[in-house]
Structure 1
Amino acid sequence: MPRWFNTAGPCVAANHYMLPALRRLPELRTLIDQQGYFVVHAPRQTGKTTALRSLARELTAEGRYVAVHVSMEMGNPFSQDVGAAELAVLEEWRRDAVHQLPAELQPPPFPNAPPGSRISVALTSWAEAAPRPLVVFLDEVDALRDVTLLSVLRQLRSGYPRRPKNFPSAMALMGLRDVRDYKVATEDREHLGTASPFNIKVRSLTLRNFTAEEVAELYAQHTADTGQRFEPEALALAFESTQGQPWLVNALAKVAVEELVPDRSQPIRREDVERARSVLIARRETHLDSLTDKLREPRVRAILEPVLAGTFAGGGDSYQDDLQYTRDLGLCAPDDPVRVANPIYQELIARVLAGNAEPKVVVAPRSFVLPDGRFDFDRMLREFAAFWREHGEVLAAGMTYHEVAPQLVLMAFLQRVVNGGGQVDREYGVGRGRIDLLVRWPYEENGQRRLQRHALELKVWREGEKDPLAKGLVQLEEYLERLGLDEGVLVIFDRRPEAGGTETRTRFEQAQSPSGRKVTVLRA
């Protein structure tokens, strides 16, 4: 049976291309042997369930433990009814155990118990009946809420001293978030913070992304099965675009090999990966949609808005917690400097945040294509200036991310007119007050494939600051130097109250970079 790239649910070795599930969690066996209770948290679709199910099968097959992977998700609708949540969860556990364990290792009938103690009693009876130490991986724990969540965590803490004979010997709580970020509406808090009842955890682990070598290794499985190879430039772009995020790595390849290049005799080239990336962004499939749904949460906005604006986030007591939460969701890279996790998310976030502006751009994209197939970049600038004069202030005022609203309007305009023929690449200069954009437009000349490139730098002139022109020219020079371009565009959005309306302040100027490169300045 042919295998395929999986983008839905846990991977199955017989059906899917996959890497060794536990390679990215080498500490787990030691924690289990030490009777540890620990947390495994990572963004959706990174392989948590695949890894822990695989480990449960291995541990049981080796004969040292009874290991099972079960879910808490069925308790989600009952955030205020502990008893109903417990019954729903335990019924699902029994079905999970039947599918995962031989009859002699399945749990006995769970005893009747008062609400608020059923999880503890069930785990106690199971551990006492099991012929070996019981290991339980509790998935989707952060699907629970409020009093139900607090009750379950307290029951686990209460039973912990009775292990390994009368309670699970080892246990993992699995979910998107670390315990401190579990949702709970109690007193004046919306999440547990340092007051977690699960203070028995010995470690909090997360799954790293794939390395570039692992992306190549995964794609090589497709080549071995089908003969269809990925060219080196395609592999490099796949890693660059995804930064190894497992769902994106699989989804990118799936679109490329199943939709764009289904002929197995043809290799996957760099341009195929670029097209696949555009398809993923345009579709905003379930995984991507669930991420973008988080953008309007105040904790996420507190981190991402300054990242997109190129400024520094405010200090504040909650900054580190908010940053870790945004990283746990997978929206920000796991290391410093603070930045969006990968170019695909970067593009997607900008499109989502500018979503209300793009429908207002009614110009026809084909009208910007010259007779020889090149992109009319000068006309694009003029048309945007006219668009900004008429609609800019209103559209910017309606943006959720106010600090980066003008830049989002420009990016929405660009996306509309470039979409389908070219590509807009984004770079956010964290702490440098800038956004760099590169418009890439492929065309043919005398039968040869060519590529137009136009660089823009976006800056904002805020109240109390100096005119950013001089600094912007220096920064744009660096960007042009890196790209090997001789000219560029500096866009300065003047947000000072004294600047007047868009009609009076929107104009073009000509300038030069420090080394003499030609710069078109658009003040808006």
Structure 2
Amino acid sequence: MLPALERIPDACDYIAHGEYFVLHAPRQTGKTTSLADLARQLTAAGDYLALHFSCEAASSFAHDVGATEQALLGQIRAAAQIAHLPPEMMPPSPWPDAPPGTALGIGLAAWVAQCPRPLVLFFDEIDSLRDDALLNTLRQLRAGYTTNRAGFVHSIALCGLRDVRDYKAASGGDPTRLGSPSPFNIKVDSIRLGDFTRDEVIALYTQHTAETGQEFSPRALDLAYYYTQGQPWLVNALASEIIRRMRIESTITEEHIDRAKERMIVARATHLDSLVDKLTDPVVQRVIEPLIAGRYIDADPAFNDAVAYVRDLGLVARTKPLRVANPIYNEVIVRVLGSGIEENITSGPSQFRLPDGRLDFPRLLTEFAAFWKLNGEILAGDQRYHEVAPQLVLMAFLHRIVNGGGYIDREYGVGRGRIDLLIRQPWTDSDGRRAEQREAFELKVWRDKHKDPLGEGLAQLDGYLDRVDLPTGVLVIFDRREKAAPITERTRFSDATSPSGRTITLLRA
């Protein structure tokens, strides 16, 4: 693991000055691990008594302030026992009697009064508290800071998904403001725990090499960072998949990274599953749907709040332009949204494999067109993400067929006006050498009040084919105009010529 002081270097400075601060980041980024490690280091150094504990045990008492206080004090005592603190540093036993709404502050003040060291507390999962329970907890901490500074907790860090000064409760992005002044306006700063840099990913994997002798090829390291963009859980899970589940004992190569990424996506590991559960949230849909559609977005305060919420979840990148956080999430999102469609596809991967392992690509295109004519309108009409329903149908069809051993790389995002897909199918040539079949798609939509996107699509596909170094590709245009011809009439193939002179297979659907 990476040392806590490297991940949150500002924390020690805030603690040294007796300041209160907030640490927030998406789930599975290492907040809890870093805080627990920092608490151990601070206590072991002898200058402070630092304790990390979770507020989750109090999360069910949204409107019962007294029960929340007792749950929090109980968690503090349990954490102190687990840390094996010496008797003189343990919290009071029992905690002082106090009226509901004051017990937390009075209890902490009593502990400070008897503790031989300055007390530092890390309130983890603070945003699991709700409504009155959260407000009262913050107000008691503020009161201790402002009215009893010398006799209260030296330094406090509140840790959660979101910056608690902004929201009443981190409960699905509720934009109800706490009001002014904030119950925690005493904080000095809000630290956002970031993803790993490329150098940090290499440092983490190099620790494994140093311990075991198993190396990662340079290309494998590059690909691991590209697929994860440094998201800490993904970085660790990718290596764990290769080493523990795939049981690779040789040098880890880019092929191993590719296979592990695909296995994680298909298995929908716990972190990925919990993440995609958010896709049904209307606030999340408001951000993700235009991302997939590739359209420009209307900038308004409500949308900005939605973007802030989705960023705090870790689904989209922190930096501009607005985009999905990493290629693995990119893939998971569209696969999950198309999973119901995939259940209706009776064709199997083996039907489209040639003897040497390549895809029978012409047959794949023909079979999709037939499937679309028969099922397209029904399946597209049932999709929650209606704006991108046709694209989801095609991608679900490709997932079903290509997942028998190949990979699909996709590019989509705000303002692109399209989705670009690259199918990569490994196969073995006549000399027994490893080779890779590559086929490119571009997906566009013809909507009411817009002109036929054929010309724009051909030019865009030219650029994509240049980047992936392919001589030809497939342009699919879904006609979603109200006056479009019936699906059986409009779904047809033809050839088109791109601006650079490429012959392009055109599918109007």
TM over 0.5: yes
Matched, 1:354 2:338: yes
Matched, 1:212 2:198: yes
TM-score (norm. length: structure 1): 0.93
- Is the CA contact 2:128–2:170 (under 8 Å) kept in the aligned structure 1? no
The match for 2:295 is: 311
3-state SS of paired residue (1:373)? coil
Q: Which amino acid aligns with 2:37?
A: S
The match for 2:233 is: 247
Matched, 1:86 2:86: no
The match for 2:420 is: 436
The match for 2:481 is: 496
Matched, 1:445 2:423: no
Q: Which amino acid aligns with 2:233?
A: W
Matched, 1:507 2:476: no
3-state SS of paired residue (2:215)? coil
Matched, 1:288 2:266: no
| Residues 443-486 of structure 1: per-residue CA shift (max 9 Å, x gap) | 11121111110110111111111111111111000000011111
Could you tell which deviates more after superposition, 512-521 or 306-315?
A: 306-315
The match for 2:118 is: 133
Structure 1 runs, 4 residues or longer, greater than 6 Å off: none
1:341–1:163 distance in 2 versus 1, CA, 3 Å:
farther
- Is the CA contact 2:494–2:507 (under 8 Å) kept in the aligned structure 1? yes
- Is the CA contact 2:161–2:170 (under 8 Å) kept in the aligned structure 1? no
Q: Which amino acid aligns with 2:187?
A: K
Select the residue among 370, 394, 398 that pairs with 2:382: 398
- Is the CA contact 2:440–2:473 (under 8 Å) kept in the aligned structure 1? yes
Select the residue among 457, 463, 467 that pairs with 2:442: 457
1:135–1:416 distance in 2 versus 1, CA, 3 Å:
same
Aligned counterparts of 2:170 and 2:337: Cα–Cα separation in 1: 28
Q: Which amino acid aligns with 1:155?
A: Q
Q: Which amino acid aligns with 2:65?
A: V
| Residues 406-443 of structure 1: per-residue CA shift (max 9 Å, x gap) | 11111111000001220011101420211100000011
- Is the CA contact 1:179–1:192 (under 8 Å) kept in the aligned structure 2? no
The match for 1:14 is: none
Aligned counterparts of 1:189 and 1:380: Cα–Cα separation in 2: 45
Matched, 1:260 2:258: no
- Is the CA contact 2:127–2:170 (under 8 Å) kept in the aligned structure 1? no
Aligned counterparts of 2:319 and 2:189: Cα–Cα separation in 1: 19
Mark the runs of 5 or more structure 2 residues left unpaired by the alignment.
Answer: none
TM-score (norm. length: structure 2): 0.95
Could you tell which deviates more after superposition, 324-333 or 56-65?
A: 56-65
Structure 1 residue 194: deviation in Å?
5.8
Aligned counterparts of 1:182 and 1:96: Cα–Cα separation in 2: 27
Aligned counterparts of 1:194 and 1:321: Cα–Cα separation in 2: 16
Aligned counterparts of 1:389 and 1:259: Cα–Cα separation in 2: 41
What does 1:32-111 correspond to in 2, within 5 Å?
32-100=15-83, 101-109=85-93, 110-111=95-96
Structure 1 residue 395: deviation in Å?
1.2
Structure 1 residue 185: deviation in Å?
10
- Is the CA contact 1:185–1:191 (under 8 Å) kept in the aligned structure 2? no
Could you tell which deviates more after superposition, 409-418 or 31-40?
A: 31-40
Mark the runs of 5 or more structure 1 residues left unpaired by the alignment.
Answer: 1-17
- Is the CA contact 1:21–1:54 (under 8 Å) kept in the aligned structure 2? yes
Select the residue among 185, 196, 202 that pairs with 2:188: 202
Matched, 1:275 2:259: yes
Aligned counterparts of 1:237 and 1:347: Cα–Cα separation in 2: 15
Q: Percent identity?
A: 55
Could you say what the CA RMSD is over the residues aligned between the two structures, in angstroms? Answer: 1.8
3-state SS of paired residue (1:70)? strand
Could you tell which deviates more after superposition, 76-85 or 468-477?
A: 76-85
